[in-house]
Chains A and B, each alone.
Chain A
Amino acid sequence: MNRMPLWADAILVPMFSLLLAAIFSALVILGIGENPIDAFQLMVDGALKRSAGWGYTLYYATNYIFTGLAVAVAFHARLFNIGGEGQAMVGGVGVALVCLYIPWPHWSLAIIGASVGAALFGAAWAIIPAYLQAKRGSHIVITTIMFNYIAFSLLGYLLVEVLRPAGAMDPASASFPEATHLPNFHDMFAPEGSRMFRGAPANVTFFLALAACVVVWLLIWRTKLGFDIRSFGKSETAAKYAGISPLRITVIAMLLSGALAGMMSVNTTLGESERLILNSTEGAGFVGIAVALMGRNHPIGILLAALLFGFLNQGGAELALWTNIPRELIVVIQALVILFTGALDNLVRMPLERLFLSFGKKRKA
């Protein structure tokens, strides 16, 4: 069968899907009695017109790059990892343990240690669902969701009973030592006395996220392991005949996925709050699904989609601040993006494909 050119599949289809999601989001805003154009203007102003807005947008984008990559790596092996939220929470425990109990002399070493801790803990949280899926056929979607709830209870227990310093009231760990504090964009890019990026949480972890994009690209498209993961995702039976062990690939893909999701907490826990708190993930694990779908599971696409969702999140926060529109509007927009780019993909693709086919025929004639 004839197919569309690659560029149409990679750019045109998501563009139209996004447009549909935007139209429906506008209808939702109209439906609750607000003006969508004003709302959009406010979002742009709050997220992009000021350097602090950019600082927040990039901070959220950093989170979404990690969770987006996490979902994508699992997706390549046709594993649907909805557990990013729990893996990121447990990754945060890894960051906290590393930062509280090892005396780091300098932040540049601390960020390495924290990354390792986050990745290990995140991966550990993904290994049981992975093993159960591969060995016992329990559905990974449901087990990872269950692990999200279990992670939430576990984190609550650890923060209330174990990590909370004596005398403190709120469920949170002690603050990390001064030496581990990561430089934020204000420290890095603002000239002496400038107010650029002041008060915004974007920090050096953003570059770690960019590096993760490169590493994931190399891994998936330039190594044998990546090839195995992709062929396993394309056809499990074919991969089996080629001598690829389903157990091995499932576990490895989920370990990588969990590690990436866990590393998100380097940004939130070490980079922003500088201590472990209860609700630092803020749904980023789920946003990762939308980011991976929009970005077509490719690191470049994920980077762009993460920036878009970072903008939406920051813009939505501004909306909640200045208007009566609650923050949940962002959740609705994210859901619409997942719906149109993921589930209703064919709604756009089928007519486009037909269009391209008819053009192709004319040219031949």
Chain B
Amino acid sequence: MDFLTLLQVLDSSVRLAIPLLLACLAGLYSERAGIFDIGLEGKMLAAAFAAAAFAAVSGSVWIGLLAGIGASLILSAIHGVASITFRGNQLISGVAINMLASGVTVLIAQAWFAQGGRTPSLEGPERLTPVNLPFANMFENIPVFGATYKELVSGHNVLVYVAIALVPLTWWLLYQTRFGLRLRAVGENPASVDTAGVSVIRLRFTAVAICGILCGVAGAYLATGLQAGFIKDMTAGRGFVALAALIFAKWRPWQALWACMLFGLLQALSVRFQSIELGGITIPGQLMEALPYILTVIILAGFVGRAIPPRAGGEPYVKER
């Protein structure tokens, strides 16, 4: 593999890692506040559809982005009402949200555009455009650095940079602010937060809402940045891979970035190399396809250190009287 191919693979790794990273951070807020969310997948899917549909109709990707966030927030609200207000089973609620999104998106797409459950292809201002960072062309002639800067660092769309900037922001919010302290506390020991006179319910709803916004951005990126339009079930398990990355990262933001980059790299490899020749043995494409999922299981098995989830995760909080 020559240097340019390597750069291209890394470049597409970043592109593919971004939706994972956004969803992973979304899950981070929710689960740190004690609300498990396996509905990331569904929220991303709904957002992808809404973003593509509204971008196509309005002609502006930004209206699409807002619509995507809105769609994802609606599903978040359902999850919040079910698991916070009515103290329902968070896993079941997540499953329902995933199925709901997978069905409703196709249903509405068909009723709206009549193109077999997809949206029209997006073009021009309906899509996110690459941003060329300053000096990209000036550095071109510097060996190694110039190409790396131009191919890998520059030329992504704005949501890529937003997603990466969210990593330090999340770290700061979680560990340096009062809000972050309370958010983490409500996932570990909600009774203590309640005793301190802070509303557990409001904090958890806030976390679920942040989760919804981030999933919305992830879905919008998927449909208007990575691809040009919505197709049926286009999230293809990314929400679950993001959850696995979250566990891999042990619910910490910087580690989440590296975990998502790793999964992005795996995906990029399987897209680029349909089957790989390794010492006389051909590794079939289906194995490459399954590799992210297999790796997830290996990671979940805890062979890379034990991951302990927030202690109050999955448990509805009942105020004692």
Which residues of A are interface residues toward B (Cβ below 8 A)?
A: 28, 31-33, 80, 82, 128, 132, 136-139, 141-143, 145-147, 149-150, 153-154, 156-157, 160-161, 286, 289, 293, 324-326, 328-332, 334-336, 338-339, 342-347, 350
Determine the distance from Cα of A181 to Cα of B117 in the docked complex, in whole angstroms: 37
Q: Let me know if A339 and B100 touch, CB within 8 A.
A: yes
Q: Let me know if B237 and A342 touch, CB within 8 A.
A: no
Tell me which residues across on chain A come within 8 A of B293, comparing CB atoms.
146-147, 149-150, 153
Determine the distance from Cα of A342 to Cα of B82 in the docked complex, in whole angstroms: 9
Q: Let me know if A344 and B86 touch, CB within 8 A.
A: yes
Q: Let me know if A150 and B294 touch, CB within 8 A.
A: yes
Q: Let me know if B301 and A343 touch, CB within 8 A.
A: no
1/0 per residue B79-93: CB within 8 Å of A?
Answer: 001110011111111
Q: Let me know if B88 and A346 touch, CB within 8 A.
A: yes
B: interface residue count bin: 35 or more
Complex partner residue of A82 from B95, B110, B301, CB under 8 angstroms = B95
Tell me which residues across on chain A come within 8 A of B83, comparing CB atoms.
343
Chain B residues 212 to 242 lying within 8 A of chain A, measured CB to CB, are: 237, 240
Determine the distance from Cα of A336 to Cα of B90 in the docked complex, in whole angstroms: 15
Q: Let me know if B96 and A154 touch, CB within 8 A.
A: no
Q: Let me know if A289 and B95 touch, CB within 8 A.
A: yes
Q: Let me know if B93 and A343 touch, CB within 8 A.
A: yes
Q: Let me know if A338 and B301 touch, CB within 8 A.
A: no
Q: Let me know if B117 and A154 touch, CB within 8 A.
A: no
Q: Let me know if B300 and A132 touch, CB within 8 A.
A: yes
Nearest chain B CB to A74 CB, angstrom units: 12
Q: Let me know if A28 and B104 touch, CB within 8 A.
A: yes
Determine the distance from Cα of A326 to Cα of B110 in the docked complex, in whole angstroms: 7
Tell me which residues across on chain B come within 8 A of A156, comparing CB atoms.
286, 289
Q: A33-B111, A339-B78 are in contact. Are A328 and B240 (CB under 8 A)?
A: no
Q: Which residue of B lies closest to A329 (CB)?
A: B107
Q: List 11 A-B residue pairs with CB atoms under 8 Å apart, sorted by A's residue number.
A: A136-B302, A146-B240, A293-B92, A326-B106, A326-B117, A328-B110, A338-B92, A339-B78, A339-B96, A342-B89, A346-B86
Which residues of B are interface residues toward A (Cβ below 8 A)?
A: 38, 78, 81-83, 86-93, 95-100, 102-104, 106-108, 110-111, 114, 117, 237, 240, 243-244, 247, 284, 286-287, 289-290, 293-294, 296-297, 300-302, 306
**Chain A at the B interface: SS class:** helix
Tell me which residues across on chain B come within 8 A of A137, comparing CB atoms.
302, 306
Q: A132-B300, A326-B107 are in contact. Are A154 and B286 (CB under 8 A)?
A: yes
Q: Which residue of A lies closest to B108 (CB)?
A: A32
Q: Let me know if A332 and B82 touch, CB within 8 A.
A: no
Complex partner residue of B107 from A128, A143, A332, A339, CB under 8 angstroms = A332
Q: Let me know if B82 and A328 touch, CB within 8 A.
A: no
Tell me which residues across on chain B come within 8 A of A335, comparing CB atoms.
96-100, 102-103
Q: Let me know if A157 and B111 touch, CB within 8 A.
A: no
Complex partner residue of B100 from A154, A336, A347, CB under 8 angstroms = A336
Q: Which residue of A lies closest to B93 (CB)?
A: A343
Q: Let me know if A328 and B102 touch, CB within 8 A.
A: yes
Tell me which residues across on chain A come within 8 A of B286, comparing CB atoms.
153-154, 156-157, 160
Tell me which residues across on chain A come within 8 A of B90, comparing CB atoms.
343
Tell me which residues across on chain A come within 8 A of B86, comparing CB atoms.
343-347, 350
Determine the distance from Cα of A31 to Cα of B87 in the docked complex, in whole angstroms: 29
Determine the distance from Cα of A32 to Cα of B117 in the docked complex, in whole angstroms: 13
Tell me which residues across on chain B come within 8 A of A143, comparing CB atoms.
297, 300
Q: A335-B96, A343-B88 are in contact. List 6 more A-B contacts (CB 8 A).
A: A139-B247, A330-B103, A338-B92, A338-B96, A339-B78, A343-B96
Nearest chain A CB to B313 CB, angstrom units: 10
Question: 3 smallest A-B Cβ distances: which pairs?
Answer: A331-B103, A343-B93, A335-B99
Q: Let me know if B240 and A344 touch, CB within 8 A.
A: no
Nearest chain B CB to A86 CB, angstrom units: 10
Tell me which residues across on chain A come within 8 A of B93, comparing CB atoms.
339, 342-344
Q: A142-B240, A153-B286, A334-B99 are in contact. Are A328 and B107 (CB under 8 A)?
A: yes
Tell me which residues across on chain A come within 8 A of B96, comparing CB atoms.
335-336, 338-339, 342-343
Complex partner residue of B247 from A28, A32, A142, A325, CB under 8 angstroms = A142
Q: Which residue of A lies closest to B99 (CB)?
A: A335
Q: Which of A28, A145, A156 has its CB near the most chain B CB atoms (within 10 A)?
A: A145
Tell me which residues across on chain A come within 8 A of B111, comparing CB atoms.
31-33, 324
Q: Let me know if B290 and A328 touch, CB within 8 A.
A: no
Q: A132-B300, A286-B99, A326-B117 are in contact. Are A145 and B240 (CB under 8 A)?
A: yes
Tell me which residues across on chain B come within 8 A of A346, comparing CB atoms.
86-88
Q: Which residue of B lies closest to A137 (CB)?
A: B302
Complex partner residue of A157 from B81, B91, B103, B287, CB under 8 angstroms = B287
Nearest chain A CB to B23 CB, angstrom units: 14
Tell me which residues across on chain A come within 8 A of B244, comparing CB atoms.
142, 146
Tell me which residues across on chain B come within 8 A of A324, comparing CB atoms.
110-111, 114
Q: Let me know if A332 and B88 touch, CB within 8 A.
A: no
Q: Let me know if A331 and B87 touch, CB within 8 A.
A: no
Tell me which residues across on chain B come within 8 A of A146, comparing CB atoms.
240, 244, 293-294, 296-297, 300
Tell me which residues across on chain A come within 8 A of B289, comparing CB atoms.
153, 156
Q: Which residue of A lies closest to B237 (CB)?
A: A149
